[in-house]
A and B are shown apart, each in its own frame.
Chain A
Amino acid sequence: MQILSWLIPISLGLGGLGLLAFVWTLKTRQYDDPEGDARRILNPDWDDRPKP
């Protein structure tokens, strides 16, 4: 049962990490254009170097 004192915080921490990641995507407006972003990833324009 000692293992619980490790596992519970770990599972909560991982879940919290997921939540934080979601909050970050929300705050950085990554849901404004889901359709466009889905296509943009296939666009080869800036594959070699980042867009200035």
Chain B
Amino acid sequence: MALSLDAAATPAASACPACVAAPAAEAMARAARAGEGARILLSVPQAHCGACISTLEQGLEALPGVRSARLNLTLKRIAVDADPGLTAADLIPEVRRLGYAAHELDAGMLAGTDTDPTGRDLLMRLAVAGFAMMNVMLLSVAVWSGAEAATRDLFHWISGAIALPTVVFAGQPFFRSAWGVLRQGRANMDVPISIALILASGVSLYETIHSGRHAYFDATVMLAFFLLVGRYLDHRTRAAARSAAQELAALEVPRALKLEGGTEQLVPVAALVPGDRVRVLPGARVPADGIVAEGTSEIDRALLTGESLPAFAGPGTALAAGEVNLTGALVMTVTAAGRDTALSRIAELVAVAEAGRGRFRSISDRAVRFYTPFVHATAFLTFLGWFWSTSDLRLSLNIAAAVLIITCPCALGLAVPAVMTSASGRLFRRGLLIKDGTALERLAEVDAVVFDKTGTLTLGRPEAANLGAHPAGAVALAAGLARGSGHPLARALIEAAEAAGIVPAAVADLHEVPGYGVEGRAPDGRRVRFGRAAWAGAADEGAAGGLTAAWLGVEGEAARAFTFTDRLRPGAEELVATLRARGLRLALVSGDAEAPVRGLADRLGIDDWQAGALPADKVARVAALKAQGRRVLMVGDGLNDTAALAAAHVSISPASALDAARTAADVVLTGTSLAPVAEALATARRAVGLMRGNIVISNLYNLVAVPVAILGFATPLAAAIAMSTSSITVTLNALRLGR
């Protein structure tokens, strides 16, 4: 399978027949295959329709150097085969021109998710079990309707010839898992399943050999079929979440610009070692922990500490992996790389927090714990009872096998996976990715929510707040200066000025002083500066009221403060209002300064807030709520939230969060809006209700069928009917959740 995939993924590199003869051809082909341009993966989240397919594929194939492009609409990904040398950066503008946002994906990181060998393996076994079930059932109907003597024996023999190899092949996932846990002296759902499959096949074979009346071949393969359906659904849900989570991780292609002997080299971040010198360009993420060696700039620490105000960085400033360089290019000396970076300081906290969370017992865990001993005890007692009263080993074994087959957790194996599939599918379409199997059940219990501020309730993107407080001339001047910088505050100011209809002033000699601001000459010849307070000539920094501010300093005039607030994440206001209306306890815990936190808490109406919180404070906050007996949902995105995310009963993080935070979270929001969180809580409650309902339904069937089986009245027909109706009922019940 893997071979054919490779062949399909890499086109024949030797276009001319002569090349084949050349000794270097193969090496060249290999180089082309390994080269940057051979296969490019782009994520196109907006692709949704048939027209998107032709627009994107034809648009990309029209580009020089592109051999073929294929859009996978299910995964919303384009795979492009291109000449070596072509990179994602060449393709993304074209995709954007066609009207879609695109991100490069790290093809290496996604290598495993395309194929999903386990899923295909399960599907194959499912198909074989389905084929066998239909054919055996066809023969069984004849037996049920009264085939006698030689005809019945013949049909039993044919059924056995189909069923036995099927059980051996299709039952393997159960046998393997059962054997694995039995060797460790434990039991799971697969143990009773395996015993039922083996015992039923054995008894049926014995009956067939001795031309008995009842053979359970049909029930055996049906059992295998329905259980495989449950297993496949379970796998699909998990595989979809895993592949999407991997895609999020693959969005950050981690590379660093390493300086070596005067040249710059693009190297994977993993290859950095302490002592390396690395250039960090404006707008790039700091790849490792280190100390600034050259250059000045401003650093956005929001993801690490929650501070919304950028910090100054010059030679000697310590940088941590994950911070974003804003204005000037920096050269840093790496002090710690890879696993030793800032992450590790948090990792310890996360480990402690996770240990405190304890293992959550899911509904199906609890059901199995009760179920397994019950099934085995019932079957064994039935056998003993019948053997004691009749001394007929064959009859007793037959009846015990019937009990095992009827009680076998067929519907139970479907009850939870079917609901999980329909619930996570529904949430996925609304932009929520359920990473953990038990996350839905935990979400359903939530009665308190703790929010992080920067990057979670807000977008971490500033918005000009007090444009109206300044004369239009000053705003025009500031906007004119801001055009000289890519700093987020400058961008926000230009945007706000445009929205207000103010034309930026023409500033001469415009140049950026990294780490400080922008300087230039106003139309009247005076020197003007826009940036840090002291540099722009502000006497009193307090005039900004503790808010994020950039100052406009005009020679001979008092500096003016342009304040900024963090832009609210779409859906945040509605979410907080909905949750409050539902009576959940809300809290806001942020690492940011007091003024912005208080401002946001007032705006959203959250009474319970805390500013300047360290990662440990956030964990303590979650633990305190837990100690009050509350089930806490933590919503956060930064490295400083990671430990709290792990400590909380259940956690959600936005897709823009750092990798570490996404890993710690149980649910990831794939869109920008926070609104789906409320939906997730509601859906989780309904899903858990349906799971419980399903388990009750499958137990109800047992309540009726088990006494019948114990008394020896169960026929293969009764077993088949009980099994199929209960399985279909729980599946239909799960579908009530809706799309």
Contact = CB atoms under 8 A, between A and B. Distances in A.
Of listed B49, B73, B124, residue having the most chain A CB within 10 A: B73
Interface string A1-20: 10010001001100110110
B74 interface: yes
Interface string B121-156: 001100110010011001100000000000100100
Interface in A1-52: 1, 4, 8, 11-12, 15-16, 18-19, 22-23, 26-27, 29, 31-36, 39-40, 42-43, 45
Contact of A26 (B50, B120, B154, B158): B120
B127 A1 contact: no
Interface of A is mostly: helix
Interface of B is mostly: helix
Interface in B92-132: 114, 120, 123-124, 127-128, 131
A9 to B, nearest CB: 10
A36 B72 contact: yes
B75 interface: yes
A11 B142 CA distance: 14
A35 B128 CA distance: 25
Contacts of A33: 72-75
A35 B131 contact: no
A11 B72 CA distance: 37
Contacts of A29: 5
Nearest to A7: B138
A2 B123 CA distance: 37
Contact of A15 (B49, B71, B131, B151): B131
Of listed A4, A16, A34, A35, residue having the most chain B CB within 10 A: A35
Interface in B38-83: 49-50, 53-54, 58, 71-75
A36 B71 contact: yes
A19 to B, nearest CB: 4
Nearest to A31: B123
A40 B1 CA distance: 25
B435 to A, nearest CB: 22
Contacts of B151: 1, 4
Nearest to B75: A33
B50 A15 contact: no
B120 A15 contact: no
A15 B75 contact: no
B123 A26 contact: yes
Contacts of A11: 135, 138
Contacts of B135: 11-12, 15
Of listed B50, B72, B138, B158, residue having the most chain A CB within 10 A: B50
Contacts of B162: 12
17 contacts: A1-B151, A4-B151, A4-B154, A11-B135, A12-B135, A12-B162, A15-B134, A18-B131, A26-B124, A29-B5, A35-B73, A36-B71, A36-B73, A36-B74, A40-B50, A40-B53, A45-B58
Given A15-B134, A43-B54, 6 more contacts: A19-B131, A26-B123, A29-B5, A40-B50, A40-B53, A45-B58
